[in-house]
Amino acid sequence: MDFKSQIATTRDQSEILLSLGLKPETADMVYHYTNSRVKSWEWELQTKPPTLRGKYWTPERIAKLKSPFHKHPDGTLMTGEEIFDALWGKDVPAWSLTRIQKIMPKDIVLGNNRWGLFISTDDIAYFSFNEDKTINYLTGFDTGDDGSIFNAAIGMFEWLIENNHLNKEYLKEKP
């Protein structure tokens, strides 16, 4: 048996979610750029939210950053924004399946119908039961060729956003 569990979106999948408009601060994990010379160690998945400019890292705090370990090629010390970018500038947010499930609406109400969220190992769908116990599907997405439930989640996020069913607090404001 060969079990390989994907515990979060890949960097590519994360980039797609960001391009759809999902806020980076909704992520519960991060791919941290390590600057390692070993290619397979260049990115490390960390089980913490991404470090972002904002509430804690205000421009004033960032301006005060100093480190003897971060230098320019000519040997002069980096400060402020340069250090912040060197430490966290390349990081990519990542979403666990649990976080994705919390962001997606538990149900969608359209007219007199309530459609419930269903997530399995093979697909993600919104469905409802008829009185005769048959199932109606509003929409659904499968895992695709590679079997990643995160691919189904990306399809569902795209559909939720296009149809105005995703809570706006999870989305970046459009310019």
Domain of residue 42 covers 26-94
At 49-67, the pLDDT tens digits run: 998 888 788 888 878 888 7
β-partners of residue 93 are 30
Longest dimension (CA), the chain: 75
Is 73 a residue whose pLDDT tops 90?
no
Q: Which region among 29-33, 71-75, 166-170 has the lowest average model confidence (pLDDT)?
A: 71-75
CB 115, CB 104: distance < 8 Å: no
Q: What is the DSSP letter of 103?
A: H
Sign of CA dihedral 62, 68, 72, 75: positive
Q: For residue 78, tell me if it sits in a domain.
A: yes
Q: What integer pLDDT is reported at residue 175 of this predicted model?
A: 65
What are the tokens at 148?
Answer: 């990643």
pTM of the model: 0.83
Q: For residue 81, tell me if it sits in a domain.
A: yes
Is 4 a residue whose pLDDT tops 80?
no
Number of independent structural domains in the chain: 1
Is 121 a residue whose pLDDT tops 90?
no
